[in-house]
Amino acid sequence: AVPQGIVSVPAGIGETFLKLEILYPFHHLTAALPVILTLLILDLFDSIGTLVGLSRRAKLVDENGNMPNMGKALTADSIATMGGALLGTSTTTSYIESAVGIESGGKTGLTAIVCGICFLLALIFTPILTIVPAVATAPALVMVGVFMSQGLKELNFDDLSEVAPAFLTMIMIPLTFSITEGIGIGLVVYVAVMLLLNRFKEIPLFSYLVAVLFLVYYALK
137: Cβ–Cβ under 8 A, 6 or more apart, which residues? 97
Reported as a single tens digit per residue, the pLDDT across 110-147 is 888 888 898 888 888 888 877 878 788 788 778 777 77
Do 79 and 184 lie in one domain? The reply is: no
Do 48 and 95 lie in one domain? The reply is: yes
Give SS3 for 196.
Answer: helix
Q: Does pLDDT of 1 surpass 70?
A: no
Q: What's the pTM?
A: 0.65
Q: Does pLDDT of 172 surpass 70?
A: yes
Number of domains in the chain: 2
Q: Does pLDDT of 180 surpass 80?
A: no
Q: Does pLDDT of 164 surpass 70?
A: yes
pLDDT at 159: 86
Mean pLDDT of all residues in 188-214:
88
| Of the residues 134, 166, 185, the one at which a domain ends | 134
71: Cβ–Cβ under 8 A, 6 or more apart, which residues? none
Reported as a single tens digit per residue, the pLDDT across 43-88 is 887 888 788 888 888 888 887 777 888 888 889 888 988 888 888 8
Do 23 and 125 lie in one domain? The reply is: yes
Residue 126 maps to a domain: yes
Do 120 and 194 lie in one domain? The reply is: no
Question: DSSP characters for 104-167?
Answer: TT--SHHHHHHHHHHHHHHHHTHHHHTTS-GGGGHHHHHHHHHHHGGGGGGS-TT-HHHHHHHH
Give percent of the chain above pLDDT 90: 6
pLDDT at 192: 92
pLDDT at 189: 92
Range(s) of the domain holding residue 161: 155-221
> Contact, 172 vs 186, CB < 8 A?
yes
Better pLDDT: 150 or 173: 173
pLDDT at 203: 87
Do 116 and 203 lie in one domain? The reply is: no
Give the chain's mean pLDDT: 83
**pLDDT band (50, 70, 90) for residue 174:** confident
Provide Rg for the chain, Cα atoms: 20
| Of the residues 101, 134, 167, the one at which a domain ends | 134
Q: Does pLDDT of 169 surpass 80?
A: yes
Residue 149 maps to a domain: no
Element spanning 205, H or E: helix 205-220
Do 16 and 83 lie in one domain? The reply is: yes
